[in-house]
Amino acid sequence: MATFGSLSDRLTQTFSALRTKGKLSPADVDKTVREIRRALLDADVALTVVKDFTATVRERALGDEVSRALNPAQQVVQIVNEELVTILGGQQRRLEFAKNPPTVIMLAGLQGAGKTTLAGKLAKWLKAQGHTPLLVAADLQRPNAVTQLQVVGEQAGAAVFAPEPGNGVGDPVRVAKDAIVHARSRLHDVVIVDTAGRLGVDAELMKQAAGIRTAVDPDEVLFVIDAMIGQDAVSTALAFQEGVDFTGVVLSKLDGDARGGAALSVASVTGRPIMFASTGEGLDDFEPFHPDRMASRILDLGDILSLIEQAQKAFDEEESRAVAEKFATDSFTLEDFLAQMQQLKKMGSIKGMLGMLPGARGMREQLDNFDESELTRTEAIIQSMTLAERRMPKLLNGSRRLRIARGSGTTVTEVNALVNRFEQAAKMMKTVAKGGMPNIPGMQQMGGGGGAASARKAAAKKKGKGASKSGNPAKRAAEAAARAQGGGSTSGALGGGAGFGLGGAGGAGAAGGAEPSAEELAALQKFLGR
């Protein structure tokens, strides 16, 4: 289930009912606000947040900004969007780094919230920003927590400070203090302290977390919370705020949250901003939290900015320019296609990227059925080809395709389908690169694609040779009648013209919707057997 899935569906359905109304009455506004309230409560949003939110939306929706709007439904959506941004924290909050390194970041939260995995994600993200993070294993209670952090640190390419074996052995406060000295000596500019959690909030947990905070005086204390715990998010956050206090919130497991109550409640109730969101198991499934972008996702308005940022990180500008030139010169090969596909995989989940497009909720079934392993199979097929075959697909005869299918663990049919799709895509992109419109199946060619010009040439050629007789008796009689009257072909009158019901120029039926002649009607009735 996508992030905020059910909440987004409920809100989208609520707003769709408003689009048919040219003007909203107070009753319409009350009904809409009532549906929004139900949607938020079903999403496990805190009751106090729901009351404040719906009261503000109702007041603004009954005001002049909606009554004077040309499209009241869009104005209501805009109001809800702005208020969602407000309860999600308003402006994005970035990490504040210490003037004198190292910057100390302490992670706090319940056991199972995902602190250790998030420590690795944060370290990898910081490393990509040019920092040298150090992970500190201060969770000495949970079995194998130290080992897990070492594995995660190795995957993230970050150093790990773990002087104690854990599993109940060692003093976490002393480990945290020693880590600061170690970081200064090894020139690490960021220290990430992974602390222990409990299954629930208790005095021992708060005492240990408070002791670590006092010992290392962190620049940032990030409260990591499981986005799927719903209403419990508020009580847990308030307990940590009172016992330890924190400067920001990190939402983990956001990809599995169908309701989203935690995200919509924590920032508003605690007054602390949501700074990061973790959206999967991979170390790359981590992103800064943008309240405005998240509000747009909830309302199915898309998140194009995040999509662009992901593309900029994955695609090289010079290489993209070179590929565009290859499209224009018809020199794009399967080898280039493989390189582009591998870059696309670096952007992350294809479903996640498609979900950022406006109106993606309407494609929910298609997105759920999308098989991302298809990219892996395609990659295997191309990698089973020789370099010459990738550069010249015309070399792929029957025996070569059989060899490729066996080497990639696929069938010859799948190899044939890939080659055919590649050739069609290459032709389409060549047309686009030259400024034309691609000839998409089921659509007439338009614009610079040459379709109109081809039609004019064909018409002129046909006119020069003289119109051929149709095999349809009614149509042949109508054509004869039209020629007798000095007109052209009547293909437009009989539905044989261009798309959208427009007939050809000069047709009897094309002249502003003229009535058919008596001869045409007689021929048609004779053809129908009447």
- Closest to 290 (Cα-Cα) out of 125, 94, 96, 92: 92
> Which of 295 and 194 is assigned the larger pLDDT?
194
Give the pLDDT score at 390: 87
Tokens of 139: 């969770």
Give the pLDDT score at 443: 42
> Which of 437 and 87 is assigned the larger pLDDT?
87
Of these ranges, 243-257, 315-329, 384-398, the one predicted with the greatest mean pLDDT is 384-398
- Would the pLDDT of 509 be above 50? no
C-alpha separations of 428 from 5, 327, 422, 435 in Å: 35, 9, 10, 11
Listed range (181-190, 422-431, 500-509) with the worst mean pLDDT: 500-509
Give the pLDDT score at 494: 39
What are the tens digits of pLDDT across the range 8-19?
A: 777 777 777 777
The residues with which 169 forms a beta bridge, in sequence order, are 166
The per-residue pLDDT of the chain, averaged, comes to 75
**Proportion of the chain above pLDDT 70, given as a percent:** 65
DSSP H helical segments within 217-316, as ranges? 232-243, 261-270, 291-298, 304-314
Give the pLDDT score at 187: 92
> Which string of b and e fits 364-390 if b means at least 16 CB within 10 Å?
eeebeeeeeeeeeebbebbebbeeebb
> Which of 6 and 466 is assigned the larger pLDDT?
6
Give the pLDDT score at 481: 60
Q: Which residue's structure tokens are 């109940």?
A: 168
- Would the pLDDT of 59 be above 70? yes
Give the pLDDT score at 504: 39
> Which of 432 and 410 is assigned the larger pLDDT?
410
Give the pLDDT score at 490: 42
In the DSSP assignment, the letter for residue 313 is H
Cα gap 387→395, rounded to integer Å: 11
What are the tens digits of pLDDT across the range 231-251?
A: 677 888 888 888 888 999 998
Give the pLDDT score at 251: 87
Q: Are 520 and 477 in contact (CB under 8 A)?
A: yes
- Would the pLDDT of 345 be above 60? yes
- Would the pLDDT of 137 be above 50? yes
Q: Are 113 and 143 in contact (CB under 8 A)?
A: no
Measured from the Cβ of residue 129, the count of other Cβ atoms closer than 10 Å reads 10
- Would the pLDDT of 261 be above 90? no
- Would the pLDDT of 463 be above 90? no
Length of the chain: 530
- Would the pLDDT of 63 be above 70? yes
- Would the pLDDT of 487 be above 60? no
Q: Which residue's structure tokens are 């993200």?
A: 125
Cα gap 384→176, rounded to integer Å: 51
State the average pLDDT over residues 411-421: 89
> Which of 203 and 175 is assigned the larger pLDDT?
175
* pTM of the predicted protein model: 0.60
Cis peptide leading into residue 143 (ω within 30°): no
- Would the pLDDT of 369 be above 80? no
State the average pLDDT over residues 419-447: 62
Listed range (106-115, 247-256, 295-304, 310-319) with the worst mean pLDDT: 310-319
Give the pLDDT score at 127: 93
Q: Are strands 159-161 and 286-288 parallel, antiparallel or unpaired?
A: unpaired
SS3 250: strand
